[in-house]
């Protein structure tokens, strides 16, 4: 009953012209440029696990494992999602190039931040892996077969 009342109230909700003008949000080009520049130093990391884990242990462990030259800031962006901000782009590239990473036997899916997409709309569908194959035919031991 309460749900239908709330729905009907929401359907009849509207702002006056004055309220609409007061609620305009104006973002300057400089603000957008500054945010886009900051995003170049950021990654999104998703810990792919069903288990509970210590976020502080994750931050501490990965900071040590990555052995970065500059600082790194971890910001919670969801239940198992983190925004990683790097002081140096070279450190960011080091983390990307060292994939795949894991923490407590769980995959850490990493992707670049897209400044036009909210973090909760990011889709982690791919993560690179190294695979070692044994006893392959000699004709298939080349870059063409290995890069598929």
> What tens digit of pLDDT does each residue of 64-86 get?
999 999 999 999 998 999 999 99
Containing structural domain, residue 103? 31-134+141-146
Q: Report residue 135 as tokens.
A: 């006893």
51: in domain: yes
Based on the structure, what is the number of domains in the chain? 1
Mean pLDDT computed over every residue of the chain: 86
Residue 68 lies in a domain: yes
Structure-token pair, residue 20: 């609409």
Position 147 pLDDT exceeds 60: yes
Burial class of residue 94 (count of CB atoms within 10 Å of its CB; 0-12, 13-18, 19+)? middle
Q: Is residue 17 part of a domain?
A: no
DSSP character for 130?
-
Helices (H) and strands (E) in the chain, counts: 6, 5
Report pLDDT digits (tens) over 33-55. 666 667 789 999 999 999 999 99
Q: What whole-number percentage of the chain has pLDDT above 90?
A: 48
How far apart CA 75 and CA 78 sit, in angstroms, is 9
Query: Does residue 7 form part of some domain?
Result: no
Q: What is the CATH number of the domain that holds 128?
A: 3.30.70.330
Residue 109 domain-assigned (yes or no): yes
Beta strands in the chain (DSSP E): 42-48, 72-76, 81-86, 101-103, 106-112
């Amino acid at each position: 009953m309460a749900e239908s009342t709330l729905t009907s109230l929401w359907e009849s909700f509207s702002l006056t012209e004055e309220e609409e003008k007061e609620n305009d949000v104006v973002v300057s080009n400089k603000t957008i440029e500054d945010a886009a520049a900051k995003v170049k130093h950021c990654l999104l990391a998703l810990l792919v696990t069903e288990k509970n884990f210590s976020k502080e242990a994750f931050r501490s462990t990965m900071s040590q494992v990555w052995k970065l030259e500059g600082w790194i800031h971890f910001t919670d962006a969801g239940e198992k999602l983190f925004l990683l901000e790097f002081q140096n782009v070279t450190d960011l590239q080091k983390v990307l190039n060292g994939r795949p990473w894991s923490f407590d036997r769980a995959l850490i899916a990493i992707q670049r931040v897209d400044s036009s997409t909210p973090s909760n709309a990011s889709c982690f569908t791919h993560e690179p892996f190294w695979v070692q194959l044994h006893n392959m035919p000699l004709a298939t031991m080349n870059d063409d077969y290995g890069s598929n």
